[in-house]
Structure formats: C-alpha cells, structure tokens
Structure 1
C-alpha cells in the first residue's frame, strides 16, 4: 500500500498467489514447477522478495498464462511510486550476497573507522550530539555484517580523492587509510579498487551508489543523500549503473596496485 492505494507491485504479488490457489497448487508444488525453493515462493507471496523476471517467466510458463505476469512486471510495476518490497539500505546490505559500492568522496560506510565516521557526521555542526551518536552507533553496528557467517562479498571502488581528503585531521585519516589496507589484505571477501587521480573524467564522478545482489541473484541499487536515500530496481536504471560500475572499474587500479597506493597515502598522512 502507498498513500492508501494498492500499488501495482502489491497487486502483482497478490495475483500471483491467487493464480497459484486457482490452480490448486501448494507453495511446494509451485516451487517444483518453477524450479525455485518453497521459501522463495513464500517470500514472493509475502512481498518480502521481489519476483525476478526469470521467476515470472517460469511462473507464466508453468501456469500457461501467455506471459501475463511478466508483462505486469515490465509495464505496470515501474509506474509505482513506492514498491511493496522496498527495504531500506540497512536491510539491502544485510540480505545481500554481493555488494558493489562506488564512492568518489568518502570511504564507504562499511569500511569507516569510528573516528572517521564521527568526523563525517560532525562536519559543519549540522547534527546535534544525540543525532551524531545515534548515527555513529548504527554505522558501527552495521559493520558487523562483514564478520558474519556468511558475510557478503564486497567490492568497493574508491576515488583517490576520498583518501586524500583530510577528514577528521591527519591522524584520523592516516588511521582510516591504514584500516583500508588491513581490510583489503586480510579480509577474504573484500576487494578494494582505487581510481587514481591521474584518471581523466569518468562516469562514476556523477555520484556514489551501491548495487546489492540478493542470494537469488536479484539486483537493487541504493543512492544515498543528505535526507535519506532512493532505491532503484527498474531494469533500465540498473543497466545504467552496471555500465557506470564497469567503466569506473576499468579506470581503477588492481587490488594489489590499490593496496600499494593506499600504503603510500597512509604514510603521507603520518
């Protein structure tokens, strides 16, 4: 529901359940027909997981609908202002199997030290002490996902400007860049790429973004801002961000080269 009105996404989810029941199938029987797990079928019908184009293609084929539900996803769901499976950045990260994070200005939140994160939140004096402490605690708590079992695979692209900016003072930024080196060399599921300052203009400079891939292979993007964030799952939007990611990765150093650069930068701040 959005503004008291049923969204196209919620309608699609409800109709999928009705179609299954009309056929006289249980969730387990539908799962076998579409070659997905019963838990995936349940998550889709509860609005906890968006039905992917592949899922709907198999659903349409199993129930011989003539492609009805695939067309609903393609033509109706994008018209929604808010889709029923919107989850927020924290949930996207927690539920992801893979994260692709691009940052031109700051160190990605999952990789920030406490002192660096505090400096980010305190900058400009725009937030009061209570709000700073609340956001800081949430950020540090979110980082526990990297020590989880399983933890998501995180690939981050950071512009060199982000580690050249003196956030929080020389010691804070030196410790932060040293922390990046430790994570990049010691964490088996984290890969860091730095785009050097010698690179010319490239599409990533347009702004930071996160691409989260669920365990079912579904992508959702998140664009952060000062007043919240925006989730994107339209195929055209995702395709564009994937292209931005690939071009930006092409401009970046390899992980080994990036680690060497970060070591040099950390030393320059010491």
Structure 2
C-alpha cells in the first residue's frame, strides 16, 4: 500500500458527506455575493481549491474551515459540519491526516526507492500499480484510487509557492513497470514537471557506495506555521511523526541524500538518456 491508496483492508468510502459539505460552503459563499476567486483570496486558498471543496472532490483542511468560518461570519456551523467529515474516497484512514497537511505545505520533500511517488505518476503507471494489488481490487476501487491520486497531483500546479523536492532511485525507471510504453510516458511526464520552477527532481544513481536512505522511503513537510512533520509508510500502515528529534534525524538523512544524488541538471540528462534507450 503506497501513497495512501486504499486496499481491501480499508475500502473507499462514499463521498456524500463531502458533497453535502461542499454544497453548504458554495451556498454560503454565493449568499455572501462572493465569487470563488474572491472567496479564495479571503481564505488564502486558490479558486481551484475552493472549487474542489465545493464539488466534494477534496477533504477540507482544518485551516480552510477556520478561515471560511471567519470570512462568512458563521458561528461554528462549518466547524461542526467538518467534524462529521470522516470520509475521503480512495485514501486509507492512516494517510488522510498527512494528505490534509500535504495540501497546505510550503515545503514537501519525498524520497522513494520502491516506486515513483503518487504525485509524479501518470494514469497508466498508477493503474498498473492498482491492478497489481493483492488481494485484487474491484473496478470501483481502482477508479476511486485514481480519482484520489489525480486530485492530489493538482498540488504541483496549484501551489506554485510550495517548494517540492523529490529524490528517486534510478532503478525505478529500469524496472519498466507497466511496460516500455508506460515507462516512456512516465519519463516524459516527469521531464515536463522538472520545468516547473518550484519542483526539483533528483535521481539517486544505481551504483552508489554511500547512501543515507537505506532505512527506506520517507516524506517531510513544513507547514505555513513552520512546523515540520515526517511520514513513513509501510504495507497496510503509515506513521505520521511530529517528534522534533525524530524529524530532525530524518531531515539530516534527506539533506545527505540530496548531496549524494545527481544534481537536478544531471538527473534530467540521465532521464533523457534513459528515454532515448527505450
């Protein structure tokens, strides 16, 4: 189970409550005579995020709820309604809190050695992962998982002021998950993402005598309040860490890996060479 996808141990839950909450937000916003863009400025979220919440596609972050309360002059109505939202289609229960923090992060670091992380996946690559799940997933489960993953990926383009860093192992592309065509599309997709100013992608070379990431994959993020969290995910479980001492250790490991991996420029060159060899 990777990137909070839901398997048979935590099936996708219905999104009726999300749609209802979103409709309430939309109704109150329109009653106040505010466009999505104007409301977004008041709550300091993009109009795209506002739309995602109103359409029930996105779990509202607690900060969004608090700012919406203030902007719309509610007396705890939205706060109480949000307290009943426990459902987020396609995301496992253990991942939801991290996903909410991720949506607000001003810095997000990701190291992966098992597969290309969800924020960078193409649909074809992600669907291959879902098809390979054991026990097998049903069609509705696969659709819910891709919908949730696709929604998360909007962060890369909707949060231009957020700093994203990814360190990916070279062997992730040599495995050819899903076949050569899927790998070719995946590399093209990642090369396009590297052109965004706020995103840095580095490849850890296949041969490396010293490697600070041998303990496994990790994610780190910084909130707008400059608080750091870490997230470690295993099979059927995930661990959100806010202990400063533990987070500090993981930050140092990630910093060492950034120095050990290829530079962003060399990483792009390597990906282009790998693309040419397919």
Q: TM-score range by the shorter chain?
A: 0.5 to 0.7
Provide the residue aligned with 1:137 in structure 2: 147
From 164, 168, 190, give the equivalent of 1:158: 168
Match of 2:99 in 1: 90
Deviation at 1:203, TM superposition (A): 2.6
TM-score by length of 1: 0.65
Aligned residues: 186
Residue 253 of structure 1 pairs with residue 278 of structure 2: no
Q: Is the 8 A contact 1:145 1:151 kept in 2?
A: no
Give the Cα–Cα distance (whole angstroms) in 2 for the partners of residues 246 and 150 of structure 1.
22
TM-score (norm 2): 0.63
CA distance in 1, matches of 2:256, 2:138: 39
Post-superposition shift, 1:128? 2.5
Aligned twin of 1:242: 251
1:176 maps to which of 183, 186, 190: 186
Structure 1 unaligned blocks of 5 or more: 1-38, 40-47, 50-85
For residue 81 of structure 1, what is the aligned residue in structure 2? Answer: none
> Does structure 1 retain, via aligned residues, the 8 Å contact 2:160–2:198?
no
Shift of 1:200: 2.1
| Alignment partner of 1:121 is 2:130 | yes
* 1:265 matched residue in structure 2: 274
- The answer to which of 142-151 and 152-161 deviates more is 142-151
1:180 Cα deviation from its structure 2 partner = 0.9
Q: Matches of 1:132 and 1:257 in 2, distance apart?
A: 35
Quick check: 1:175–1:266 contact (8 Å CA) kept in 2?
no
Cα distance per residue 1:133-159 (max 9 Å; x no partner): 211110011111112144521011111
Alpha-carbon displacement from aligned partner over 1:135-194 (angstroms, at most 9, x marks no partner):
11100111111121445210111111112111111100111012111111x211100011
Relative distance call for 1:149 and 1:193 in structure 2 (3 A) is closer
Q: Which has the higher Rg, Structure 1 or Structure 2?
A: 1
Structure 2 match to 1:100: 109
State the secondary structure of the residue aligned to 2:202: strand
Where in structure 2 are there 5+ consecutive unaligned residues?
A: 1-42, 44-61, 64-94
Q: CA RMSD for the aligned pairs?
A: 2.0
Q: Pick from 213, 233, 247: which aligns with 1:224?
A: 233
| Greater fraction helix | 1
Which aligned segments of 4 or more residues in structure 1 are displaced greater than 3 angstroms? none
Give the whole-Å Cα distance in 1 for the aligned partners of 2:146 and 2:240.
Answer: 22
Distance (Å, rounded) in 1 between the aligned partners of 2:206 and 2:128 = 24
